[in-house]
Chains A and B, each alone.
Chain A
């Protein structure tokens, strides 16, 4: 027997977009996995070979060689943006978990409605409103993934801007004599703030999972109480 249950009202933007994306969690997980695979492939091929080329020469030679400039530039450019791609891949995996948990919570609510439909009207309890925590975990997950996307964009801009310009412009030996080292300062500071920013993105995604689990646990408890009171 199919029960006719009233659908929940459509949430406002951007939560409507999140809810419409929720069933796509396997695809999002696959995308995340693929990004990490791409990171591995780039690390294994391009980055690894550039590092091999760079360190195959003795220190004095590699630092003075213009022929090795490309290898050095490649190393620094890739090391600036690739970790951000890798973490975006991991973040998409966590986003998929968030969305899977959100889908479970939604299905539990639907099940509760179906059961409630079959309960005698005199004993039927009013369905509770969707808890605010649902919007909180959706918001937290979106915030996390947006931070990770922002770090990738920042990484790409820095890698193909300042980092490329700096390392392409001269050999390491030449740079050692630079009087204006402002670009080196920018480059040296990048990993110290971009890395922790990536982890902040991950923290928001973990927070989303934590809150989504509280929604599921809360729903299970509420439904148990509802059944007990019949």
Chain B
């Protein structure tokens, strides 16, 4: 298997992986962090939030809202980077393809033109 063929075999892993990572980011953001933030800020007054004691559900919610976005955003950008890497791999196969095509065209040219230059 040539190096170029390996790139063509590997790029879908990065493309699909990138899409999955971004989708995971969206699902966690929209269905975990978003509703938690909504309930934490929307259902409790500032006084209640500020007086929450250690181990309470309010403190747990605050931890969720504060900690998850710290890794969720890099995860989403890892997805973007994976896509870009996949696209880069695809692009890297094109010069060799064009080079081969040039050679093939050169060989086929007399047949196309019927021998006349």
Using a CB–CB cutoff of 8 Å, the interface residues on chain A facing chain B are 115, 118-120, 123, 175-179, 181-189, 192-193, 195-197, 199-200, 202-203, 206-207, 209-210, 213-214, 216-217, 220-221, 223-224, 227-228, 230
Are A177's CB and B87's CB within 8 A? no
Using a CB–CB cutoff of 8 Å, the interface residues on chain B facing chain A are 8, 11, 15, 18-19, 22-23, 25-26, 28-30, 33-35, 37-47, 65, 69, 72-73, 76, 79-80, 83-84, 86-87, 90-91, 93-94, 97-98, 100-101, 104-105, 107-108, 111-114
SS class of chain B's interface: helix, strand, loop or mixed?
A: helix
B26, B87, B94, B105: the one within 8 Å of A197 (CB):
B26
- How long is the Cα–Cα vector from A182 to B111 in the complex, in angstroms? 76
Are A185's CB and B87's CB within 8 A? no
Which residue of chain A lies nearest to B106 when distances are taken between CB atoms in the complex? A227
Known contacts A188-B37, A199-B80; 6 further A-B pairs (Cβ under 8 A): A182-B43, A183-B42, A192-B69, A202-B80, A209-B87, A224-B100
A199 neighbours in B (Cβ, 8 Å): 22, 25-26, 76, 79-80
- How long is the Cα–Cα vector from A129 to B91 in the complex, in angstroms? 24
Are B30's CB and A192's CB within 8 A? yes
- How long is the Cα–Cα vector from A182 to B39 in the complex, in angstroms? 8
A181, A192, A230: the one within 8 Å of B44 (CB):
A181
Shortest A153–chain B CB gap in Å is: 17
A186, A224, A230: the one within 8 Å of B112 (CB):
A230
Are B101's CB and A223's CB within 8 A? yes
Shortest B46–chain A CB gap in Å is: 5
- How long is the Cα–Cα vector from A118 to B38 in the complex, in angstroms? 67
B80 neighbours in A (Cβ, 8 Å): 199, 202-203, 206
- How long is the Cα–Cα vector from A206 to B97 in the complex, in angstroms? 22
Are A203's CB and B104's CB within 8 A? no
Known: A178-B45, A189-B34, A195-B29. A217 touches B97 (CB 8 A): yes
A196, A206, A216: the one within 8 Å of B29 (CB):
A196
Are A217's CB and B38's CB within 8 A? no
Are B41's CB and A197's CB within 8 A? no
B33 neighbours in A (Cβ, 8 Å): 192-193
Shortest A131–chain B CB gap in Å is: 16
Which residue of chain A lies nearest to B79 when distances are taken between CB atoms in the complex? A203
Shortest A36–chain B CB gap in Å is: 16
